[in-house]
Amino acid sequence: MHVALITGGSAGIGAAFARAFAQRGLGLVLVARDRGNLEAYAEQLRADYGVMVETMIADLADRQAQAQVAARIEDPGAAPAIDVVVNNAGFSVRAGLLDKDVSQHDRGFEVMQRAVLVIGGAAAREMMSRGRGHIINVCSVSAGLTQNNYTAIKAWALNYSEALSVQTARSGVSVTALVPGWVRTQFHARAGIAGSSIPNFLWLDPDALVEECLRDVARGKSLSIPQLRWKFVVAVLRTAPRSAIHRLSRVLTVRRNQEA
């Protein structure tokens, strides 16, 4: 049996990955910190698709929880082994760079950087020992901007994912960075962002996003950027003068603050 482990697997993009894998008959290991939502979603997937769903209650801001997820991936006695790992857990870091209280920044670093590093490393080591496997790191188009610590964290995640793909090259293990724009999930509501100023055509459906990503994974692509509109946006962000990126980031920051 092939099995996929997904962090943040009970909501948003993570839940869409879980549905996509379940539809394909893969077993699942879902990692999330909200026990109620996680167990309810796991039961729904079992009922709808008849697949094995294992759950792990883990707050990835805690280093012991990070180690537990990594240990599950690398445990030689665990059955079944993990064939796909999706590093998806994340949230919007609303704290400002000048805030004296850096607790929210610390949590962002732990969940979206250190946990990704620890879990991605465990997955790569274990998969390379078997000569096969897929790692998907959920990044963001915002990695090309300079708005706040969230964009800085996502820039790290994108660079990390590409670096890991270099280090696993020709090993049978693929590493793909998913680089979405705005996706219709609970993410923005939880962050207090209305998103009312964002044109409808820029929003992505999470299930369609995941299907496109999985096609890119099957092709061995290290980057998965959904739809032509976002491919164009990413290309512009990568080639535009830094002064233009700074101006755009200021405009988007003002709009975001107005919607908060």
Distances (CA, A) of 71 to 11, 66, 123, 125: 23, 9, 10, 12
Question: How far is 141 from 158, CA to CA, in rounded Å?
Answer: 9
CB-based burial, 7-40: b 16+ in 10 Å, e otherwise: bbbbbbbbbbbbbbbbeeebbbbbbbbeeeebbe
Cross-strand bridge partners of residue 4: 28, 84
**Is residue 150 annotated as a catalytic residue, yes or no?**
yes
Give the distance between the most distant pair of CA atoms in the chain.
53
Which entry of 41, 49, 150, 160 is annotated as an active-site residue?
150
CB-CB contact of 203 with 226 (8 Å):
no
HSE-CB for 95 with a 13 A CA cutoff: 13
Among residues 69, 61, 75, 70, the alpha carbon closest in space to that of 31 is found at 69
How many C-beta neighbours within 10 Å does residue 250 have?
Answer: 12
Phi and psi (nearest 5°) for 63?
-70, -30
The single-letter code of the amino acid at 55 is: T
The single-letter code of the amino acid at 116 is: V
Indicate which residues carry an active-site annotation: 150
